Chains A and B, each alone.
Chain A
């Protein structure tokens, strides 16, 4: 206590202290995004310690993967990050393709960019909406879901499912996109661009939102790297790292010929790169960074997601053009009982929540000898305890929400 500042809420509470209280936040709690359980040590409104407990959604997905063939395991990847199932499919497909040294045809590559970036938009829309919900604003949630619904409609047309797609498979995709799909997708993008400023108005620039998120849960770049944070959580702290640029060649070559930005503030100036994408006249300039915001706080993590959505729209637009310009095969899915070579492979992709890694060891059989998934949400969640020291109770949903964890991916 001696080293604390006088206005530290812990010091103030210490002067008028009563008994501490241990509270279970979760596993059944509205703002723990599924079944996360946080044990809070509270002193009045001030939380002095937070301990996350996980494992309530553990379904032995990795062990199941060691009893199924590579293609059979695809539906289980859907159920990991169920908000970005397409990106999970992609990660597993890529690692199997790497193992088999299979090269995807051009058309399949663009198809995958379209699908995975649309998945990223859908996922970030949920992250944005539920973040509003965590802070007590219900409306952005429905705005986000309304747009996500359109993406799900498109996905449903492409593969028949709305949540657990199993669409991208090792070798390509289960089917080519339907005939007029790209037209509908273009129409969606045009409509969606109009909505983005609305979302910014509802949350990003709202003064209550700013006062709830700016300066809260500040994570330095070093801390983010130390804890293995990835994705928007890492970039929100000003670390320029995106696997679509910095990843393995097998993954980055998927984005060959695409123009997009990595959304990350320059740690020196605190400014984000200029939006050099003619989006919607000039009305889609990035909103101003509020004065209270500190690099690495909840507001920046949220902001990075909002801007990444724009980059994803940009990518999908390019991908649709490239996809339409190429013809031929979109890739042939591997056989259901495809034998895996005796070797190991690991591959990380940039999923909406961060780096999603899959590790597989083959033993010559069609069933892998070992399957392992490296979850981004798991590492991102690990910063909860250090970030939630000496904060107010209401900041916990703000911090946990800004990490945007999906329990299905953590517990697997």
Chain B
């Protein structure tokens, strides 16, 4: 993208290109967060309404009330921003921004489709989880600084709960990483291309188990019912955001809903094929072949480098494939969020000791079993979901390494460690690819 901007501006390797590229990505992602929150809050109201045998919003914005959240947002902005006398004013004021910033920043590394990503990060899995984990700070800050005992209770619960659930969550995420041999979310998604049997959730029984445990832990990690103890209204009034009002209060909600989408999208990338649909429509229609994809810079694929004009060289096939990919991921993520809503409106809330028991007694051992089982499955080379369809999991992996020509393999064999150039994402990607070569040769070559 940066190169593309520089190309348009006829600059050579200028920093301006990087700034513009970052701004474009930032603004686009901000819209995903804001519009996503609007949509999900509206969805939550409609879904809860249907579950509870009522209508939900019906007036604002036409028949389905889909502008209700916007109207409420305007109301919240117009409300007085109250800071309690007892509050630690500075911390109280920045707490919501910390939360929103954390869940917003996690979107940077989330690939919406192959190449449609804010910043290509080779350790995207790690990055997303780490940044998302920062969200707990906002809750602790809010609870600590509010000067209210109920808020403090909420913050303490959140701290205990979220930190505990990071353990099984991390163990679940390791399973796809281990099977795919990469922490790159784009690659993990691409390796599940093809029919839905290729999805990692259907890889073997242990990945199926892991997917379920992941979803449970993710629900707990983003504080959704039945694990929403930090804001348990029947016990703690409103938990950590008891004292908040107006815009700051709504920022907490934007953070909550965008985190929900991130963990759901992460689930779909790690276990449910990411941007790839259950049936490879693009392949069937002959729109593109896999080797068109798999690079880190979207702009150069959609707009050819030497095309000159802006739309003259638009590679329509890839653009359509990416659009479908984005639609797929958004749809899967939304389904995940819908399931969370469904659970929220059906179940009572757990008690704090039950939440911790669930984590330490059930989720952690189950995640461990899933991890060990999946490892054993790979080591013993047992049949996997994708072998049913006779489509090797590692075809893409091989294609990807093949892209780098034989020299990559040679370099790997000569044990020469290549230091990636900091500006060169391709080189950085290559460094990771090199490590994956043995896996793909041993495992993929056989099938």
Contacts and interface: CB of A to CB of B under 8 A. Distances in A.
Interface residues of A, number: 32
Nearest to B150: A23
B2 interface: no
Contacts of B52: 138-139, 142-143
Contacts of A395: 351
A186 interface: no
Contact of A137 (B156, B237, B349): B349
B235 interface: yes
Contacts of B229: 394
Interface string A40-57: 000011000000000000
A209 interface: yes
Contacts of B235: 31, 393-394, 396-397
Nearest to B350: A208
B377 interface: no
Contacts of B51: 139
A132 to B, nearest CB: 7
A142 B55 CA distance: 12
Interface of A: 9, 21, 23, 29-31, 44-45, 132-139, 142-143, 146, 202-203, 206, 208-209, 211-212, 392-397
Contact of A139 (B150, B226, B345): B345
B232 A394 contact: yes
B283 interface: no
B151 to A, nearest CB: 12
Interface of B: 48, 51-54, 149-150, 153, 156-157, 225-226, 228-229, 232-237, 345-354
Given A30-B234, A138-B48, A208 B153 contact: no
Contacts of A44: 156
16 contacts: A29-B237, A30-B234, A31-B235, A45-B157, A135-B348, A137-B347, A139-B52, A139-B346, A142-B54, A208-B226, A208-B347, A212-B348, A212-B350, A212-B351, A394-B352, A397-B235
A134 to B, nearest CB: 5
Contacts of A23: 149-150
Contacts of A134: 234
A42 to B, nearest CB: 8
B345 A30 contact: no
Closest CB pairs A-B (n = 8):
A136-B349, A135-B348, A31-B234, A137-B348, A142-B52, A394-B351, A397-B234, A134-B234
Given A31-B233, A392-B353, 12 more contacts: A29-B237, A45-B153, A45-B352, A135-B348, A136-B233, A136-B347, A143-B53, A206-B347, A208-B348, A209-B348, A212-B350, A397-B234
A141 B418 CA distance: 63
B41 to A, nearest CB: 16
Contact of A30 (B237, B346, B352): B237
Contacts of B347: 136-137, 206, 208
Contacts of A397: 234-235
Contact of A393 (B54, B153, B233, B349): B153
Contacts of A133: 234
B232 A136 contact: yes
